[in-house]
Amino acid sequence: MAEGNEVVVHVLAASLKPVDKQIAAGSHYASPRNFPFICGLDGVGRLENGERVFFGGCRAPYGAMAQRTVVPKAFVFPIPANLSDETAAALPNPGVSAWLTLTFRAKLRPGENVLILGATGVTGQLAVKMAKLLGAGRVVAAGRNQQVLQSLLQTGADAIIQLDAPTEDIKASFAREAGKSGYQVVIDYLWGPPTEAFLSAITHTGFAAIGAETRLVQVGESAGSTITLPAAVLRSTALSILGTAGIPPKDVLFDALQKVISHGAEGDFHLSTQRVPLSEVESAWEHSGSGSRIVIVP
């Protein structure tokens, strides 16, 4: 039952994201310690008055992967009529994440060069498009899925780097695409060996004048949870390593959400989705999505 500052939402769709799996597995820092617990951080649904909304912040133990859930009134947002349930459920989480990473954490400025490590994932693809939309001078997309990498050349990437090549070839590609001006912003969804290869590629082997700062924002760890970081990396380069720093202030978060939904309604962001009934969530849980977002429907 909803309390005074809450509403009941009749769920229409909820996306299945890596963070949902991490929370359920207990490997995320925000994983619950009390059970039972219903999965799903956010989704799309209708209020009792029929209004269609995007929602988040479900009150524990409730979640989005259900027929109904309970959320704070402050965390429901109207959805434009021209956005489907699937897109409206799938876009905000990766879209807001990418938008805030580029603007709030990396503080991307027009004309700066951007490298996206893990550009073939759902959030990485959006980050490529957003970086260009925000005025990046050059965007380099790095990932393993060759088909998706090629498609990114049509949606904002100026160059691509194949990450399933030998390590020395990957290093050479990072260095080549950096050119003389280097990368001012690096958005890292991978960590692990790809990040180590990148850091090795930008490490100077001799004394050199300091160039523009490289701001690396660590977002995900799909390629590994740890890296080896030689001291020479930090001593020879103008490198800052940042985290996503949890949830930003509400006004920043809500502004990002409104911008992402607005751009989505205008057709600026393409997001591939796969609709899966809630009764088949077990099989969907083991499916990677291959660059598209699985959306669970009751």
At 220, which amino acid appears? G
Domain boundary among 243, 258, 285: 243
In this structure, are 73 and 113 located in the same domain? no
| Reported confidence tier of residue 247, pLDDT bands at 50, 70, 90 | confident
The confidence score (pLDDT) of residue 288 equals 62
Cα gap 42→129, rounded to integer Å? 23
User: Do 225 and 249 contact (CB within 8 A), yes or no?
Assistant: no
Q: What is the mean pLDDT of residues 246-263?
A: 92
The confidence score (pLDDT) of residue 209 equals 66
The answer to whether residue 250 sits within a structural domain is no
Hey, what's the torsion of the CAs at 38, 42, 46, 51, to 10 degrees?
150
Domain boundary among 204, 224, 243: 243
The confidence score (pLDDT) of residue 290 equals 65
Q: What is the mean pLDDT of residues 24-50?
A: 89
Within 8 A by CB and 6+ apart from 74, the residues are 5, 57, 250
Specify the number of domains making up the chain: 2
In this structure, are 289 and 166 located in the same domain? no
User: Do 130 and 268 contact (CB within 8 A), yes or no?
Assistant: no
| pLDDT reading at 208 higher than 70 | no
The answer to whether residue 249 sits within a structural domain is no
In this structure, are 108 and 233 located in the same domain? yes
- Give pLDDT tens digits for 105-153: 999 999 999 999 999 999 999 999 999 999 999 999 999 999 999 999 9
Q: Domain limits at 159? A: 94-243
The confidence score (pLDDT) of residue 204 equals 82
- Give pLDDT tens digits for 177-195: 999 899 999 999 999 999 9
